């Protein structure tokens, strides 16, 4: 009897959230993870036995850069994955029955919730937004064919036994029941000294993590050298050409939450996982707007209400007109840290549902957003 988790491979944010939840499940609860995210990431973060299945069950959005969406290609990709899911639904149900699935968790494909309903087991969605929200906005602004898709997905999400609202959220009114567990972020450690020694920079040098995401950012990379010698930049991905004051840091040097906590600022597009890590570690985030991403409104609202959120217009951000924003950064360690301990609460609720086979008798519903 196991928990089967379906996790979107669209970016790292969904996996970063789920590893923090699922690693906290009791060791005697068998776990199966189905995702297109890299297995090495899951193995490095979840220090407990689990079965890993490399597969994909959703599309998310087709992107040309980390801040740009191709809405027409997204619709075509959605139609393709929907046809694939329909063709394999019976086989997937048989696999779940063979494994003894007692609870299905999704972050955030909707297809697994329809499987849970057919199988007669609880289906729980962990989310701060869903693809229904994303497609609804794209349907209004870029591709009308995505509007009916958003409605179809909302009906599929309505099969959920429960939404675990992970904070920084959109309203998601189509879920019949919800519990607000709060922001889920992996714990961090400030390892500034180790980072400085690894980079070989002076202790007084300010360090910025430049995170470009899976789809890169069209930045004016050579202009980074204008910030030397005061600033040294760290990236997890190589730039198009070498930059004197930028180091490409191997993933094995520091865990991502520790890297965020060890820098003076993070410079990136805003995504749930990164925003949660910045808020919880008190590390400022210099960011640009994202169009075609419905969740941006919730993330921007949280960052705007926090003194460490520094928003630049897209043109200035991509042109690296950052000097004024960097000059007004608050002193390192002075920002308030926002609680992001939704992982333990989510894991506790999932464990209760697993053992009881339904919503717990003491379940207290959280009202949806207005």
Tens of pLDDT, residue by residue over 221-254, are: 999 999 999 999 999 999 999 999 999 999 889 9
pLDDT of 360 reads 86
Q: What is the mean pLDDT of residues 67-91?
A: 96
Instruction: Establish how many alpha carbons lie within 13 A of residue 238's alpha carbon, considering only the half-sphere containing its beta carbon.
Output: 3
Average pLDDT over residues 340-344: 97
- Mean pLDDT for 298-325 is 96
- What CATH fold (topology level) applies to the domain 2-184+341-356? Rossmann fold (3.40.50)
pTM: 0.95
- The string over 160-190, giving b where at least 16 C-beta atoms fall within 10 Å of a residue's C-beta and e elsewhere, is bbbbbbbbbbbebebbeebbbbbbbbbebeb
**pLDDT reported for residue 365:** 86
Whether residue 369 has pLDDT greater than 80: no
d(CA 172, CA 153): 11
Which band of pLDDT confidence, cut at 50, 70 and 90, is reported for residue 366?
confident
pLDDT of 79: 98
Q: pLDDT at position 110, please? A: 98
In the chain, the percentage of residues whose pLDDT exceeds 70 is: 99
Residue 43: what pLDDT? Answer: 96
User: What's the CA gap between 110 and 318, in Å, rounded?
Assistant: 34
pLDDT of residue 84: 98
pLDDT of 356 above 70: yes
Which of 190, 234, 232, 165 shows the shortest CA–CA distance to 337?
A: 190
Q: With H, G, I as helix, E, B as strand and everything else as coil, classify residue 261.
A: helix
pLDDT at 311 over 70: yes
Instruction: Tell me which of 82 and 214 has the higher pLDDT.
Output: 82
Give the CA angle between residues 352, 358, 362 to the nearest 5°.
60
Residue 335 confidence (pLDDT): 97
State the chain's mean pLDDT as an integer: 95
* Predicted local distance difference test score (pLDDT) of residue 293: 86
Answer with the residue of higher pLDDT: 212 or 4.
Answer: 4
- Yes or no: say if 132 and 150 are a contact pair by the CB < 8 Å rule: yes
d(C-alpha 237, C-alpha 38), whole Å: 16
Mean pLDDT, rounded, for 25-34:
97
Predicted confidence band of residue 100 (pLDDT cuts 50, 70, 90): very high
- Check for a shared fold between 2-184+341-356 and 192-327: yes
Asked if the model's pLDDT at residue 361 lies above 90, the reply is no
Rounded mean pLDDT, 94-98: 98
Average pLDDT over residues 146-167: 98
CATH T-level fold of 192-327: Rossmann fold (3.40.50)
Going from N- to C-terminal start, the domains of the chain cover: 2-184+341-356, 192-327
pLDDT for 221 equals 94
pLDDT level of residue 370 (50, 70, 90 thresholds): low
Residue 37, sorted as left (phi over 0), alpha (psi -120 to 50) or beta, turns out to be beta
């Amino acid at each position: 009897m196991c928990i089967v988790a379906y996790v979107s491979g669209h970016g790292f944010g969904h996996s970063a959230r789920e590893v923090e939840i699922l690693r906290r499940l009791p060791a005697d609860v068998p776990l199966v993870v189905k995702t297109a995210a890299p297995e090495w990431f899951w193995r490095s973060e979840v220090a407990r036995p689990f079965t890993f299945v490399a597969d994909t069950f959703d599309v998310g959005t087709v992107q040309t850069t980390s801040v740009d969406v191709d809405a027409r290609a997204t619709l075509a990709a959605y139609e393709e994955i929907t046809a694939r899911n329909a063709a394999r639904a019976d086989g997937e149900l048989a696999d779940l029955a063979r494994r003894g699935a007692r609870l299905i968790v999704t972050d955030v494909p909707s297809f697994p919730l329809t499987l849970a309903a057919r199988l007669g087991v609880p289906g729980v969605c962990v989310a701060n937004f869903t693809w229904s929200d994303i497609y609804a906005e794209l349907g209004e602004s870029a591709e009308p064919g995505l509007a009916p898709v958003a409605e179809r997905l909302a009906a599929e999400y309505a099969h959920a036994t429960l939404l675990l609202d992970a904070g920084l959220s959109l309203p998601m009114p189509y879920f019949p029941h919800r519990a607000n567990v709060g922001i889920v972020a992996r714990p961090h450690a400030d390892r500034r000294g180790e980072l400085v020694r690894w980079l070989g920079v002076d202790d007084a040098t300010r360090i910025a993590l430049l995170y470009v995401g899976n789809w890169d950012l069209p930045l004016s990379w050579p202009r980074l050298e204008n910030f030397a010698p005061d600033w040294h930049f760290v990236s997890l991905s190589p730039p198009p050409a070498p930059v004197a004051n930028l180091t490409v840091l191997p993933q094995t040097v520091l865990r991502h939450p520790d890297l965020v906590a060890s820098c003076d600022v993070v410079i990136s597009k805003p995504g749930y996982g990164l925003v949660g890590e910045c808020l919880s570690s008190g590390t400022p985030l210099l960011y640009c707007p994202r169009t075609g991403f419905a969740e941006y409104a919730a993330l921007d609202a949280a960052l705007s209400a926090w003194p460490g959120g520094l928003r630049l217009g897209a043109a200035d951000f991509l042109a690296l007109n950052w000097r004024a924003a960097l000059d007004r950064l608050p002193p390192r360690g002075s920002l308030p840290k926002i609680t992001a301990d939704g992982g333990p609460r989510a894991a506790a609720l999932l464990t209760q549902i697993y053992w009881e086979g339904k919503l717990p008798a003491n379940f207290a519903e959280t009202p949806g957003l207005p």
